[in-house]
């Protein structure tokens, strides 16, 4: 493969990773989702993740976000097994790569959401507590606000 071809492929992988990720939100933000829409976001999340995994310039944080999104869409689709699996992968990836507090906070948010779905209240509360501990370490005000809002949404469940 020539350098030009590699560059084109890298750009394509980046484009599809971001585009698929962004398309997920158009459905996630809808209050009522049809079965076909749930299937679509699952495909989009896997496609986004795969394209990130093929991009040599992808950062560990991109992969962590991909695992988080996979957990999130499986939670929305009420697939508890897959939601928990990807939440655990998200946390493991954060630990292996020593990612920032925002990323760790969202790993625990994903775990809390998965435990909520399987009605494991104690584990959910434990993960929420860890998520809030990471909120205190987040430096960026907007990131702190997003993470806090998502944790609060679960806390009220």
pLDDT at 6 over 80: yes
Per-residue pLDDT of 107-145, as tens digits, reads 999 999 999 999 999 999 999 999 999 999 999 999 999
Q: What's domain 64-157's architecture?
A: Alpha Horseshoe (1.25)
What is the rounded distance in angstroms from the CA atom of residue 38 to the CA atom of residue 53?
A: 23
| Residue 143: burial class (beta carbons within 10 Å; 0-12, 13-18, 19+) | middle
What's the pLDDT band for 1 if we cut at 50, 70, 90?
confident
The residue count for the chain: 157
Grouping H, G, I as helix, E, B as strand and the rest as coil, residue 30 is coil
Per-residue pLDDT of 43-52, as tens digits, reads 999 999 999 9
What is the rounded distance in angstroms from the CA atom of residue 124 to the CA atom of residue 149?
A: 16
pLDDT at 155 over 90: no
Contacts for 75 with CB less than 8 Å, ≥ 6 apart? 83, 110, 113, 114, 117
| pLDDT the model gives residue 118 | 96
Using alpha carbons only, how large is the chain's radius of gyration in Å? Answer: 16
Per-residue pLDDT of 85-114, as tens digits, reads 999 999 999 999 999 999 999 999 999 999
pLDDT at 157 over 90: no
CB 52, CB 58: distance < 8 Å: yes
CB 95, CB 136: distance < 8 Å: no
Q: Write the CA distances from 5 to 11, 12, 54, integer angstroms.
A: 10, 10, 14
Domain residue ranges in the chain: 1-58, 64-157
What is the rounded distance in angstroms from the CA atom of residue 81 to the CA atom of residue 59?
A: 27
| Mean pLDDT over the full length of the chain | 96
Per-residue pLDDT of 53-93, as tens digits, reads 999 889 999 999 999 999 999 999 999 999 999 999 999 99
């Amino acid at each position: 493969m020539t350098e030009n071809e590699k560059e084109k492929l890298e750009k394509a992988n980046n484009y599809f990773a971001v585009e698929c990720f962004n398309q997920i939100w158009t459905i996630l933000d809808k209050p009522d989702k049809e079965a076909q829409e749930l299937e679509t976001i699952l495909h989009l999340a896997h496609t986004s993740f795969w394209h990130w995994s093929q991009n040599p310039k992808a950062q560990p944080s991109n992969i962590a976000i991909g695992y988080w999104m996979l957990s999130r869409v499986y939670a929305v689709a009420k697939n508890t097994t897959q939601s928990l699996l990807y939440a655990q992968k998200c946390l493991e990836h954060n630990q292996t790569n020593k990612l920032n507090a925002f990323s760790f906070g969202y790993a625990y948010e994903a775990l809390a959401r998965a435990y909520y779905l399987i009605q494991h209240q104690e584990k959910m509360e434990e993960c929420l507590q860890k998520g809030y501990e990471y909120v205190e370490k987040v430096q960026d005000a907007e990131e702190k606000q997003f993470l806090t809002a998502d944790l609060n949404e679960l806390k009220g469940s």
